[in-house]
A and B are shown apart, each in its own frame.
Chain A
Amino acid sequence: MNVLSQFAAETTGASGDLFSALGIDWRLLILQTVAFLILVALLGKFVYPWLMKSVDERQANIEAAAVAAEKAQAAAAESQDEVQELLDQARKEAAEIVATAKLESSNMVMASEAKSKKSAERIVNDARAQLAKDIEQARVQLHDETLELVALATGKVVGETHTAAADKTLIAKAIKETR
């Protein structure tokens, strides 16, 4: 810097009229222009391409992102439709399941109603049957007891009134019948 400012100070005195009137040191200007040109050249060679590349890349990314976003939006819209469809289907199936369950339960209720009705009928019939059985049993007992009494009575009577003569006739008759 010292060299440059020294150089600038030395050159200021030589072309002092126009440029010194304007306050511009033409040597300094040329130097600065050259320096600027070197800078531009360096920038142009090293920095600018790299910068542009990154800018381009960024641009590309942004564009890609924009496209992706669009796509995503479209996909979201589509999947929402699908989801809606699935939900509708699920609702439908749920309704069917509920209907089946309702049907099954109503069938079960009907079946159990019918069963309990049948059971009640059966209980009544059983009671009737039991009554009939009891009556029949009483009849049977009476029948058997009467038989026994008849036999007992006959035995007693015969034992007392049967005579040898009557017995002889009885035996003769018995033998005749068996011949």
Chain B
Amino acid sequence: MARRLSRRSVARYAGDQLLAGVAVGEIMTLLAAYLVTEKQTKHAGLIIRDIEEYVAERGHVGATVTSAFALSEETLSELRKYIAEHTQATDISLHNEVDEKVLGGVKISLPGKELDQTIATQLTALKTRFKKA
């Protein structure tokens, strides 16, 4: 009986194809077909994450920055610089998500990594981490 392929190996294959320059649409169709055949459509999101991580390890980072207000270009470029320093990424694509609930500050989410400097997180930490009971 053939062993089922692990998600990581599938993601590795898809990532290699992407880096080789194969069209995204083509890869996604292949992936979708594989998932449907193997009845693993629930894992679609996870495979995407794995592909993102694999590709990020090879210098292509897709990051999401969450903030309470829309970020200026200056701030975005500072963030790009920061990400480049800490990940040795050569190709960074930044997406700014505006969420009032974070109240202030910024949260940088990279594949498999995160830096959370939002006010909301600090307040949650204040509420929970220093509780005695």
Number of A-B contacts (CB under 8 A): 71
B117: Cβ under 8 A from any A Cβ: yes
Question: Are B67 and A167 in contact, with the CB atoms below 8 A?
Answer: yes
Give chain A's interface residues, CB within 8 Å of chain B. 137, 140-141, 143-144, 147-148, 150-151, 154-155, 158-159, 162-164, 166-168, 170-172, 174-175, 178-179
The residues of A that contact B132 with a CB separation of less than 8 Å are: 140, 143-144
Q: What is the bound-complex CA distance between A148 and B115, given in angstroms?
A: 24
Chain A interface mostly:
helix
Interface size of B as a range: 20 to 34
CB proximity of A139 to chain B, nearest CB, Å = 8
Q: What is the bound-complex CA distance between A164 and B70, given in angstroms?
A: 8
With A167-B68, A171-B75 already in contact, the answer to whether A158 and B104 are too (CB < 8 A) is: yes
Among the interface residues A140, A151, A178, which one has the most CB atoms of the partner chain B within 10 A?
A: A151
Give chain B's interface residues, CB within 8 Å of chain A. 67-72, 74-75, 78-79, 82, 85, 100, 103-106, 115, 117, 119-120, 123-124, 126-127, 130-133
Question: Are A178 and B72 in contact, with the CB atoms below 8 A?
Answer: no
Q: What would be 11 A-B contacts, judged by CB atoms less than 8 Å apart?
A: A147-B126, A147-B127, A147-B130, A148-B127, A151-B124, A162-B103, A171-B67, A171-B75, A172-B78, A175-B78, A175-B82
Question: Are B70 and A159 in contact, with the CB atoms below 8 A?
Answer: no
With A158-B119, A179-B82 already in contact, the answer to whether A166 and B104 are too (CB < 8 A) is: yes
The residues of A that contact B82 with a CB separation of less than 8 Å are: 175, 178-179
B104 touches which of A151, A162, A178 (Cβ 8 Å): A162
Question: Are B133 and A168 in contact, with the CB atoms below 8 A?
Answer: no
Question: Who on chain A is nearest to B127 by CB?
Answer: A151
